[in-house]
Amino acid sequence: MTGSPTESRPSKILKTQDHNDQDKEDKQLQDLSMSKNPRIQRYLAAIEYIGTRFSGSQEQPNCRTVVGVLEEAFHKFIGQPVSIFCSSRTDAGVHALSNVCHVDVERISKRKPGEVLPPHEPAVVRRAVNHFLQKNEGDISVIDVRCVPNDFHARFKAQERTYFYRLVSGSEPLSTFEKERAWHVPEKLDLYAMQEACKVLVGHHDFSSFRAAGCQANSPIRTLDELHVCEVPATPYFPSITEREQNNSSLKDSLTCSVKPEVGLPINSFSNTEDMVDTNNGKSNLEEFGIRRRHRSYMVTARARSFLYHQVRLLVGVLKCVATGELMTSDVERILNAKTVTAASPMAPACGLYLGRVKYDLP
């Protein structure tokens, strides 16, 4: 017996209750972390790193972590220990294009111990810390630094976070340059099916089905402001001779027609080589000896104020199953309404996930 439309539709959740509870908790923790020393300068630093080189972002005993490496570099720079607080915790294997942290620094003269000096300029902090980071493994760097008030907390002041997830599809083995940078799915992926599934998941829901065990959040209710999938150029992208000739031809045509040139090639020109097959032993028209056949590459974007533990990877796991035909859009509604993680598909691996941006209203 089939249920009514209202039974199958994801339930609506009031936003205000969840946000008020979260704001109260954030305010209490923020007050505890506020520096009381007026001589201390708080810096906000954006960092990028290769996640597969670390055992996560948070400090752990006997493990190489993002926070541990940063604290070591700052210690070498200013000559005294510091504590780093990240905006977002990332697991082992998860990369960051821009994670953000804050650190309190009291600049004391090395020549005259005890003498407090004016704070370093942000550009000086960036160069100095990167100097020590690059002396190490070179798999993490500071991309931006800014001075902020002493009550500005990298985690609790964040207004939204954006994650990207990279999927590559194709029967060819994954390129050496893509190892541990994306999730390789041998099957063909149905882009339209993934986009339809995103429509079910975006919005304000109880995401208990996309919340891994061990999640410390008080509530499973979250507002997913954006969940989007698109096809993107394969990375790294090196144009073939045919594509270079096409590009040159389009530029010449645009000059004779006085039309603005369209330098960018369509997606099909750089990712659809598997479909371009002639009758010559089933070989691709673009296939040459010594030239790797490209995969199709897809990007999932997830944007929200905050996420549950493993939420993005669980969402991508379901989208992948929809794309391969293992699940239908109606199954996504069923999983969301089940409100238990046991209903979800296997979680996507960490290596394809990137923390892309943390947004603030900076003073």
52 token code pair: 């597969």
Residue 11 neighbours by CB distance under 10 Å:
12
Q: Which tokens sit at 270?
A: 């750089």
Catalytic positions = 91
Strands (E), 170-216: 183-185, 203-206
β-bridge partners, 227: 302
User: How many CA atoms lie less than 13 Å away from 95 in the CB half-sphere?
Assistant: 18
What are the DSSP E strand ranges found in 81-238? Answer: 84-86, 95-105, 140-148, 160-169, 183-185, 203-206, 221-232
Domains of the chain: residue spans and CATH: 38-147 (3.30.70.580), 159-235+294-360 (3.30.70.660)
pLDDT tens for the chain, 363 residues long, are 444 444 455 555 655 555 555 555 555 555 555 556 668 999 999 999 999 999 999 999 999 999 999 999 999 999 999 999 999 999 999 999 999 999 999 998 888 888 889 999 999 999 999 999 998 788 999 999 999 999 999 999 999 999 999 999 999 999 999 999 999 999 999 999 999 999 999 999 999 999 999 999 999 999 999 999 999 998 888 888 888 888 888 887 777 665 554 444 444 434 444 443 343 444 554 567 888 888 999 999 999 999 999 999 999 999 999 999 999 999 999 999 999 999 999 999 999 999 999 999 998
Helix axis angle for 329-338 and 311-323, nearest 10°, is 150
Say if residues 322 and 197 touch (Cβ distance below 8 Å). Answer: yes
Strand, coil or helix: 315 = helix
Tokens standing for residue 56: 């996560």
Q: What is the DSSP letter of 172?
A: S
Q: Cα separation of 340 and 208, whole Å?
A: 5
CA distance 157 to 44: 11
Angstrom CA distances, 44 to 32, 52, 80, 152, stand at 18, 24, 18, 9
The reported pTM is: 0.83
The Cα–Cα gap between 146 and 158 comes to 15
Token readout for 106 is 């009291």
End-to-end CA distance of the chain: 57
Please calculate the CA angle 225-354-191 and round it to the nearest 5 degrees. Answer: 65
Element (DSSP H or E) covering residue 235 = none
